Amino acid sequence: MSRILVVDDRTEVRNSLQRFLQHWGYDVSLARNGREALDAYDAEPSDLVVMDMFMPVMNGFDAIVEFRRRFPSVRILGMSGGGEYVREDALSEAKRLGADAMIAKPFLPEALLEAVCQVLVPDPG
């Protein structure tokens, strides 16, 4: 069973993603910001980090850079909402900083599952 760390400052988002992912058989841990995510990953590594981009304390952009520095092989699925232009810029920037894939909020549970599966088992081509 793969372990996933979900990082989002909004409780309802964290809890929803946890329910979906656990329903699909994943072991899920939670963090409220990038700093908590780094501490949680350091204590117990995950197979995948699902990271929001806009959070207090340490945002997802800075956290991606730090994850890549400290844990280069970690798989990261970034996510961002907001307005269309902000979201697109955030998705592009997160990818540039080292996210393996991105998903735009809001998304359907099935889209999350597809993105998680693609990041955990990348296309060999």
Distance between the two ends of the chain, CA-based, in angstroms? 25
Q: Which amino acid is at 30?
A: L
Q: Look up the domain containing 73 and give its range.
A: 3-120
Domain count of the fold of the chain: 1
Segment (H or E) for 74? none
CATH of the domain at 76: 3.40.50.2300
The structure tokens listed for 1 are 């069973």
pLDDT in tens, 35-71: 999 999 999 999 999 999 989 999 999 999 999 999 9
Is 125 among the domain residues? no
Least confident of 12-26, 77-91, 111-125: 77-91
Task: Write down the mean pLDDT value for the chain.
Answer: 91
Cα–Cα distance for residue pair 69/59, rounded to 1 Å: 16
Is 111 among the domain residues? yes
Average pLDDT value for residue range 87-115: 88
**Helix and strand counts by DSSP (H, E) for the chain:** 5, 5
- Work out the percent of the chain whose per-residue pLDDT is above 70: 91
Specify the length of the chain in residues: 125
Angle, CA 64 vertex, CA 7 and CA 18 arms, to 5°: 20
pLDDT in tens, 8-26: 999 999 999 999 999 999 9
